[in-house]
Amino acid sequence: MVMGVSKTKIDIQGLSVSYGPIQSLKNVSFKVNEFEILGVIGPASSGKTSLLRAFNRLSDENPLFRMEGKVLLDGVDIYKKMDVPTLRKKIGMVFALPTPLPLSIFDNIAYGPRLHGIHRHSELEAIVEKSLRSSFLWDEAKDRLKTPAMKLSGGQQQRLCIARTLAVEPEVILFDEPCSGLDPIATAHVEEAMGVLKEKYTLILVTNNTKQAARVSDRTAFFLMGELVEIDRTEKIFTVPSDQRTEDYISGRFG
């Protein structure tokens, strides 16, 4: 792994997020490097999911959402200077439970490109194949592209969701506890895909499974009750963390 100067992909400055009376993030500041996998760990209600949704602005859909601070993507303020659909094309999201649309495998993946104006069938076919290959689903899916996506197994569906996100050519991919509904083999497939994806994309992985973060991520951030407690290289966080609370969470004293 190159340990030289990494370019900052996302710069979070003093981000606070609240939904009505509930404050889910308190003055959070850190940077996400390009082409890294950043693991985000912490107990329930620590603000991890709010963080992700603040990045692709899905939080906007909630009428109670309020934010302060800045989030910069490649130096551009995503709340003030960027149009939301464009942002969401650049920052994709894979959700906790697999969420195929009630369409065929092909149409699921082609859904995104079609939104953005690509209609020629040959182009779509190329995109579908490329995306399925990148999420390691091509071999299993190539003979059943026109069959309903909902008939795939859970692990396959989740890889389909990854492929679907890749099809719009994002720069960052957010994973919100993507393996929570999957068995160990399916989980391994997803983690394998993530390891390859980071060569071309920046990945942020929120997970309840600290061991997964230890396996997969380059750096890890620990959140507790809306605050960023510590962020550092993964080996350091999991062996000699700087903060006692991090140590307690990782060793299972609470969670």
- Return residues touching other proteins (CB under 8 A): 56, 58, 61, 63, 83, 85-89, 92-93, 95, 97, 99, 101-102, 111-112, 114-117, 148, 150-151, 161, 164-165, 168
By beta-carbon proximity to other proteins, the closer residue of 166 and 250 is 166
Least gap, CB of 160 to other proteins (angstroms): 11
Q: Is 236 helix (H, G, I), strand (E, B) or coil?
A: helix
The residue type at 159:
R
By beta-carbon proximity to other proteins, the closer residue of 67 and 97 is 97
Q: Is 133 helix (H, G, I), strand (E, B) or coil?
A: helix
By beta-carbon proximity to other proteins, the closer residue of 88 and 159 is 88
Least gap, CB of 117 to other proteins (angstroms): 7
Least gap, CB of 23 to other proteins (angstroms): 21
**CA separation for the pair 108, 151 (Å, rounded):** 13
Q: Identify the residue whose tokens are 């993964």.
A: 234
Query: For residues 19 and 62, is the Cβ–Cβ distance under 8 A?
Result: yes
By beta-carbon proximity to other proteins, the closer residue of 7 and 114 is 114
Identify which of 125, 98, 99, 96 has the alpha carbon closest to the alpha carbon of residue 110. 125
Joined tokens for residue 46? 């620590």
Least gap, CB of 101 to other proteins (angstroms): 6
By beta-carbon proximity to other proteins, the closer residue of 152 and 229 is 152
β-partners of residue 16 are: 68
Identify which of 96, 185, 168 has the alpha carbon closest to the alpha carbon of residue 128. 168
Least gap, CB of 152 to other proteins (angstroms): 11
